[in-house]
Amino acid sequence: MLMEPVLGDVAENLRRAEVLADEAGAAGAEWIVLPEFFSTGMGFAERMADAALPVEGPALDLLRRLARRHGATVGGSFICRDADGHNRNAFFLVGPGGDVLGRHDKDLPTMWENCFYVGGDDDGVIDAGELTAGAAVCWEFMRTQTAHRLRRRVDLVVGGSAWWSIPAWRPRWLTRRMEEGNARTAAGVAAAMARVVGAPVVHAAHVGALECPLPWSPLTYRGWLQGGAVICDAGGEVLARRDRTEGPGVVVADIEPGRRTPVDDIPAGFWFHDRGALSAFTWFYQRHHGKRWYRRHALGRPTAQVERA
């Protein structure tokens, strides 16, 4: 699924996600994967602090409803408020009967995501009945610890992303080159993870323009969401892809779940791919800014009020 979100508009995003999921279900999809932050999108905007949902709320209701409607296994992540009062970016997997099969909390928030939730520490391995699924969310596809926790343990990897571009700042020749590398990385992470884990990957994403303030800066971020919706086999061969230039929509492909001998070794180090100098700097400073901002502005705020279907 490739979805264009409206930043922080929970009701509209749930509606858009349902339309696309119904399209996938009508095409015969037995597994339907929604992108990361399918209820909100992601950007540094204060309204995001009021967009968290209760676990038992409209986002999980949507996953259950879609699963029952299409007799499919359905998954996706959203910012939820847990019983301890903290927000987490939780990927839920729901079986065809509407039962929650498992949950995975993204381990480390990425950049300004630190403003809106805290990380988790589970292994993301979910018993889905006849097979075992592994969940990975966005920049978890960038970290070798994800490959270590899933390698040879799962029959299928499911997840999604909200991956933003590097803006066209001056000098434009330099940021353009950085963005070309960023786009290549975003486009290749699903296939690369399949090759080191030894299982097919189904990856959903967001698409569209993104504009928001830049933390600790007078600048405005202006860019777009990228990465594309991708389905690939255990060897990393892309079976179906929808690029951001094609706009919102779905891809469907036949895959053979199961554990294979991984094609590639897990790289040494913490990062699976080179982030680039600008992304590494932004990761560092926005992480420190975001943890403070979360405590001051997001922690303890009311959850979003959305009518449950």
Q: What is the pLDDT along the chain (309 residues), one digit of tens a residue?
A: 999 999 999 999 999 999 999 999 999 999 999 999 999 999 999 999 999 999 999 999 999 999 999 999 999 999 999 999 999 999 999 999 999 999 999 999 999 999 999 999 999 999 999 999 999 999 999 999 999 999 999 999 999 999 999 999 999 999 999 999 999 999 999 999 999 999 999 999 999 999 999 999 999 999 999 979 999 999 999 999 999 999 999 999 999 999 999 999 999 999 999 998 899 999 999 999 999 999 999 999 999 999 887
Give the pLDDT of residue 227. 78
- Amino acid identity of residue 103, one-letter, is R
Sign of CA dihedral 289, 292, 296, 302: positive
Residue 308 lies in a domain: no
Residue 46 lies in a domain: yes
Residue 266 lies in a domain: yes
Number of domains the chain contains: 1
Residue 68 lies in a domain: yes
Give the pLDDT of residue 103. 98
Query: Going by C-beta distance under 8 Å and a sequence separation of 6 or more, which residues neighbour residue 268?
Result: 144
The pTM of the whole model exceeds 0.95: yes
Residue 304 lies in a domain: no
Residue 54 lies in a domain: yes
Cβ atoms of residues 91 and 33 within 8 Å:
no
Residue 303 lies in a domain: no
Domain membership of residue 229 as a residue range: 2-298
Paired residues of 271 in beta bridges: 143
- Cα separation, 30 vs 128, in Å, equals 13
- CATH code of 186's domain: 3.60.110.10
Residue 309 lies in a domain: no
Could you give the C-alpha distances from 50 to 53, 139, 142, 167, 213, in angstroms and in order?
9, 24, 28, 26, 17
